[in-house]
Amino acid sequence: MSMTIRNVRLVGVLAFLVMMVTAGLVEAASFKENLIPVPGDANVLILINAAQARESAYARQLRAEHGGTPIMDQSILSGPNVERIVTAARLDLATGEPVWELGVVSTTNEPNLPRLAKYLGGRLDTIDGRGALQLPINAYIVLLGPKIVGIKSPADRQAIASWAYEATTRSEVSVSAYLKAMAVFPEQTGT
């Protein structure tokens, strides 16, 4: 499977996951809780402050143009339950192919894994004592905290268990100093 198709599938599942979470009020927070689950060997990082992006002039313009249509209301950035989104990967720089990919979403409510399993066709599981969902697209969704959910590919159960354990016991961000320094821009720019 090419990197492009794989990324589209992972982002699609992440978007669906976010849409399935019960709507709630957005609270301000930093990206730290979303970055802690990211392994230290990540060399790609994308951060989105969804709460700020939802309130941007561009988002207001889109809502005005589309009149709050269901598509606009259900988009990954306009869902009122999504606060912050971090996507990360470790790319093999020689081939451009991902070694692993993940997404971490902070929300205002915990997702309903049985409901997600019904819609995504996944298999419910428990990993490191946490609710999980094995997806048919070679990825796992794992509840990392009451309002933090992660999705990681490939779906190697042992690697996912190790990642979930590290993600929930680590207290500091482990990405490179360069990526850590770049992580301040979404807070400053609101995107």
92 falls within a domain:
yes
**What average pLDDT does the segment 66-88 reach?**
69
Residue showing tokens 């399993």: 117
Paired tokens of 110? 């915990």
Strand, coil or helix: 31: coil
186 falls within a domain:
no
pLDDT tens digits for 85-97?
899 999 999 999 9
- Dihedral sign for Cα atoms in the order 54, 107, 178, 97: negative
Whether the pLDDT of residue 98 is over 90: the answer is yes
111 falls within a domain:
yes
Residue showing tokens 């992006």: 53
Domain enclosing residue 100, as ranges: 3-176
The CA-CA-CA angle for residues 100, 103, 108, to 5°, reads 160
At 18, the pLDDT band (50, 70, 90 cuts) reads very low
Number of domains in the chain: 1
Whether the pLDDT of residue 20 is over 50: the answer is no
Its pTM stands at: 0.76
185 falls within a domain:
no
- Dihedral sign for Cα atoms in the order 5, 10, 15, 21: positive
